[in-house]
A and B are shown apart, each in its own frame.
Chain A
Amino acid sequence: MSRIDRFSVPLLVSVLVLGSYSAAVTAATAELKINQNKQCIMCHKRNGKMFGLHANDALDLTCQNCHGEKTGHPRKASELIGFATKSVAKSADQTAVCLQCHDVETLSQADWTHDVHSNKVNCASCHQLHPEVDPIIGVTAPERSEMCRDCHSAN
Chain B
Amino acid sequence: MKNSRRLFLKSACAVVVGASGYTIAKSSTESVEMDGKKYALVHDETKCIGCDACSIACREVNQVPEGVSRLEIEREGPYGEYPEQYFRFTRKSCQQCEDAPCVKVCPTGAAYKDPETGIVSVNSWKCVGCQYCIAACPYQVRFINPVTHAADKCDFCKETRLKEGRLPACVSACPTQALTFGDLKDPDSNLVKVLKTAPNYRSKTELGTRPKVFRIASQEGDITL
Taking Cβ atoms with an 8 Å cutoff, the residues of A that contact B are 104, 108, 112, 115-116, 118-119, 141-142, 144-145, 148-149, 152-155
Contact = CB atoms under 8 A, between A and B. Distances in A.
B63 to A, nearest CB: 15
Contacts of B177: 154-155
Interface of B: 47, 49, 51-53, 56, 75, 77-78, 82-87, 175-177
A141 B175 contact: no
B78 A153 contact: no
A16 B86 CA distance: 54
Contacts of A104: 82-83
Q: Is the interface of A mostly helix, strand, loop or mixed?
A: helix
Contacts, number: 49
A142 B47 CA distance: 20
B175 A116 contact: no
Given A142-B56, A145-B56, A112 B83 contact: no
Contacts of A144: 51-52
A112 B47 contact: no
B78 A119 contact: no
Contact of A119 (B47, B49, B53, B83): B83
A112 B75 CA distance: 10
Nearest to B79: A115
A118 B84 CA distance: 9
B49 A148 contact: yes
Contacts of A141: 52, 56
Nearest to B47: A154
B175 A152 contact: yes
Q: Is the interface of B mostly helix, strand, loop or mixed?
A: loop
A115 B79 CA distance: 10
A152 B78 contact: no
Contacts of A152: 49, 51, 175-176
Contacts of B87: 112, 115-116
B176 A153 contact: yes
Nearest to B51: A148
Given A142-B56, A149-B175, A115 B51 contact: no
Contacts of B84: 119
Nearest to A92: B83
B173 to A, nearest CB: 8
Given A149-B175, A153-B176, A115 B78 contact: yes
A145 B78 contact: no
B105 to A, nearest CB: 34
Contact of A145 (B47, B53, B77, B86): B53
B66 to A, nearest CB: 11
Given A115-B77, A152-B51, 10 more contacts: A112-B87, A115-B82, A116-B86, A141-B56, A145-B52, A145-B56, A148-B175, A154-B176, A154-B177, A155-B177
Contact of A153 (B75, B82, B85, B175): B175
6 contacts: A108-B78, A119-B83, A141-B52, A145-B53, A148-B175, A154-B177
A104 B51 CA distance: 21
Nearest to A95: B83
Contact of B53 (A115, A118, A148, A155): A148
B53 to A, nearest CB: 5
